[in-house]
Amino acid sequence: VPGSSLNDAFNAADFEALARDKLDEGAYGYFAGGAGDERTLRDNIDAYARTTLRPRVLVDVSGASAATTVLGADVSMPLLVAPVAFQRVAHPDGEPGTARAAAAAGTVMCLSTLATASAQEVAEAARGGPRWFQLYCFSDRGVTEALVDQAVDGGYQAIVLTVDAPLLGRRERDLRTGFAIPADLEVPSFSRAIGGRREATLQDMFKLLDQSLTWRDVEMLAEISDLPVVVKGVITSEDARLAVDHGAGAVVVSNHGGRQLDGVPATLDALPEVVDAVDGRVEVYVDGGVRRGTDVATAVALGARAALIGRPVIWALAAGGEEGVARLLGLLRDEVELALALLGCPSPDALGPEHVAAPNRHR
Ligand code: FNR
Ligand code: LAC
């Protein structure tokens, strides 16, 4: 029955099924797909399935709460909304809708540089909601600085610098469908960079980005605003140490949802080495393959301060706009709270490596 479908969605996979029916092939392939043979895309999910939980019983969980903090800001749960480009391709509510749903759920929305709404529009749509701005640096420094200024003016609380995409990964689904953003769907950052509007593929947009970024640019970014610079896309201990040494305010263990270098480890498998290397100096977040409250608990147990989710938010947006995202985040918050209670953890801080067992993973 049309209209009732949203209430029939009880988990992230249900929303994907709904979204698949609504989106055309090009859009679905863009959101769902990964790079190359999509090994890493699959492994991000499989890594959670390889992990088992070790609950403790007879712990008083009567006052249990999933609430925590990220970068010192209160959030209702250790689950944040990852930056995902072109959200109006999924639904006209787009990024403002996602931002309102995240704010209502009490969690952070991270806005992509390649959004189909400006940082200002999103800030106005979700006043008071905690939000971060994801940065891709354009070769034209003026454009990049304008983006950072907009983030500062819009009350964004962090700059999330994505470092795993100096070039675009090879996404064969998009090559096959010829996925492109039509000229009537504005990507404000791109319009600014080219001084107008036109139809463009993601590859066209990436050609305008700076491929020469190095760790020095992390320091520069940290200097041009007072916002913490969160480095997104670190999966080795070497880079984790460099990130901290160059002033990163936090790091996100991410392989871009398996969309960049195919063949890299699942992020859950890379998390312990990054957590070890960072050694508590900054917060560590993780994304990729998180689909359940138990996945969030697993990530936090292994040292993540919070996890982020990408695709499920898009499926919910496609299925039901802002309302869909609100329902998804509500379901996930319930799942996280239940997972914590059944693990014998009154709060996320009570989770530790002892709550997780996996082959090759030693306490
Ligand atoms: C992304 N991701 C991403 N990351 C980023 O830093 N800037 C961006 O604009 C985008 N755009 C984007 C589009 C789409 C369609 C997807 C699926 C992903 C990566 C994203 O932030 C995150 O790392 C992954 O999506 C996490 O994996 P899951 O949750 O999708 O499995
Ligand atoms: C993507 C880019 C926009 O993954 O980050 O599609």
| pLDDT score for 359 | 64
Contact at 8 Å (CB) between 59 and 346?
A: yes
Per-residue pLDDT tens digits for 196-238: 999 999 999 999 999 999 999 999 999 988 999 999 999 999 9
Residue nearest to atom 2 of ligand 2 (CA): 85
Q: Is 27 in the pocket of ligand 1 (CB under 6 A)?
A: no
| pLDDT score for 1 | 45
Listed residue (210, 234, 7, 11) closest to 113, CA to CA: 210
Contact at 8 Å (CB) between 135 and 147?
A: yes
| pLDDT score for 3 | 52
Instruction: Give ligand 2 pocket residues (Cβ under 6 A).
Output: 85, 114, 165, 202, 256, 259
Q: How far is CA 250 from CA 182, 275, 283, in A?
A: 35, 11, 5
Element containing residue 74 per DSSP (H, E)? strand 73-75
Per-residue pLDDT tens digits for 247-295: 999 999 999 999 999 999 999 999 999 999 999 999 999 999 999 999 9
Q: Is 89 in the pocket of ligand 1 (CB under 6 A)?
A: no
Q: Record the pTM.
A: 0.97
- Residues recognised as catalytic: 256
- Residue 105 structure tokens: 């759920």
Give bridge partners of residue 306 from the DSSP assignment.
285
| pLDDT score for 270 | 98
Per-residue pLDDT tens digits for 180-193: 999 999 999 999 99
Please name which ligand lies nearest the alpha carbon of 112.
Answer: 1
Residue 360 pLDDT more than 80? no
User: Phi/psi at 231 (nearest 5 deg)?
Assistant: -95, 115
Residue 336 pLDDT more than 50? yes
Per-residue pLDDT tens digits for 138-168: 999 999 999 999 999 999 999 999 999 999 9
Residue nearest to atom 15 of ligand 1 (CA): 31
| Percentage of residues in the chain having pLDDT higher than 90 | 96
Q: Any idea what DSSP says for residue 41?
A: H
